[in-house]
Chains A and B, each alone.
Chain A
Amino acid sequence: MQRKSVGNILLLLLTLCVACMWAFPLYWAAVTSMKPEQEVISKTTFIPDVFNFSAYYFALFETNLATWYVNSLVTSITVTVVVILISVMCAYALSQIVFAGRRLLYGIILASFMVPSQALVVSQFVLMYRFGLINSWGGIILPQLIVPVVVIVYKQFFDSVPKELREAAKLDGCGDFQILFRLYLPLNWGITTALAIITYIMAWNAFLWPFLVTNSEEMMTVTVGITQVDDAFGVKYARDMAVAILAAMPVALAYLLFQKRVTQALMLSSGIKG
């Protein structure tokens, strides 16, 4: 037993070491952002000599970060709301209503799961150009609205709601829209939160599409915009790190507040029941 517990302690120490190393770049970014530029390049200090927030001041007031924030918030919240709404309705119909072509539609949605959206950027760009949506919120939002996995997960959850519930509601004179929004959606509120948060994080983090569809700095999202900062101002690492941290804040907070939900959503979308 003695040998075992020594082994356990060693393993624990090893785990802690690896975890600290893994998280070190994040710590280093945070520390760097709170140093004056002079200290950043003159010596290696793990805790700043003086805490200095001029990099944050710069990031907030002398870059377009505020504009990018607005663009990111508007586009990723719209994407989230629309994705959830159109997917939940589609999934409810697929799960609860018998209609011609239902199996075909579900088959197509399942198959779409495999299509890499990155391969579609050229033709999507041509389409958005036709619509006159280059450099606009609409152009950023539209191609992100189809997330097949949200429909698939919702359908699976609706399939497992007892049929009697819907029949009882029908007898009380409820229509399907009422049943969906008053009964099925509240019943599956947990999964809705999970899917909404992960959709929001994915939309906030999207890089390739927003990068292609915006070229004026005023229309960029945070994820694309922050890559412009060093181009415009030369390399200043405290500033870069402050910008990076501010850019990551909305998703980092969403994750830290809703850890369980994020985990659940990721498990579900990869086919493991969480």
Chain B
Amino acid sequence: MLRPLSTAVVALSLLLPAQSEARSLVLAIGGEPDGGFDPVMGWGHYGNPLFQSTLLRYDAELNLVGDLATDWSLSDDGLVWRLSLREDAMFSDGTPLTAEDVAFTYTAASEAGGLADLTVLSEARALDNATVELQLSEPRITFVSRLATLGIVPAASYDEGYARQPVGSGPFQMVEWREGEQLVVEPNPHWHGGEIAFERVSFVFGSEEAGQALARTGAADLVGVPPSMADAAPPGMKVLHVETVDNRGLAFPMRPRAGETTEAGTPIGNDVTADRAIRVAINQALDRGALVALALNGHGRPAFGPADGLPWDNPEAAIPGNDPAAAMATLEAAGWTDSDGDGIREKEGLKAAFQVLYPASDSTRQALALGASEQLREIGIDAQPTGSSWDEIGALMHSQVVVLGWGAHDPSEIYYLHHGDYAGVDYYNTGHYAKPAVDAHLDAAEAATGFDESLAEWQAAAWDGETGFGPKGDATWAWMVNLEHAYWVSSCLDVGPLQIHPHGHGFPITHDLPSWRWTCE
């Protein structure tokens, strides 16, 4: 009798302190980076670099506040940023963070050409230990958002293995990363931002279903769920809906098929979608409200442009949609008629048909592809949903329509998506759109003397009364929905006020992870 009792006492004594002191947290929010945790290569571009800290950061209202920087200013010609750094910042290995590290990080990132686009940076100089100057080659008003997303790496210990063994001055340090399975982190004892309420945080990766299963067994405290599942939270968890600028739309190939190929040898152009009438008709026909109901279970809002509701959005450029009659009139006027009676229109022997590619692993994009295809069939366009891997989509996205998504806290994305210089670069401007008038507006916006002054030019790029990338102009996209990111959160977890999330269901929610609190005993 004695032994079981003592075992129980030992077990209890092991359990109790763990309960009352700092506890560990399990998150199943996906978003595992393919390339590891190297900010120089783009880690942290959306949301939060976790291991590293940034010069500035966005607060919950998206205002810029200092993180590593205590003071910052932009010169009158818009070319030089000068920042003063805090003196108490330390990397997780205990070495202090200096202006040298900042200069090193910015120089490395501008040379690496990852997702953190710094091509405009001509020089990063450390003036003294706590002051750094960033020299731009031309005015780039959106550069400020780089200051809030690029995590600083240590110049002394940065090497090729960094992405797998990150050392930074952020709130957490890595304990273990098993690719495809989980990432375990613990608080960085040297962090300058204060106490963290958890002794350990595990990020579990895997399928959507696996995360939900963890939530149902009580093993996970925060789980990202697809919008269609949001309402079915298990007991002990509450549903958290976060508003986003994370959008989904159909990206059109803009050029006719003329035998061109990308450097990788994949085809460019599509004769059907190169016709503006097709693209405009699709924008006119789509019933976006129905797509929100179908694919998002109502948890979202219709999207009409790449940045709905943000200051640089131009509502004038939108086409309201859900008007099949107008869409059909547009197609008729452009010569697309159904002459052989099969329900699909033709023009000079060319069928109004194309593939709509979606990543097979993403149930929301699949539903959007199916829903859009259904709606387009009614106006005589054959949009064939095709589930693929990202590799295949990468090969076909310049010649077929793709369900893509974007959404960022700054307008530079508008630039990348529509400027001719970014034709075929990564997943930006997949349609190889290049229009001098639009490029001129985009360049003018970046060259503006201040953020407020740039807004008019961003809007003009979408629609300036004559042309633009928006649906009324060249209709480079048919935007469909803005998501609402849904999470199941343990009722004991207080995640505090949340900002509007950018693209990426997952890591953005960890932006304020250091200030989360556990409210149960």
A and B pair up: no
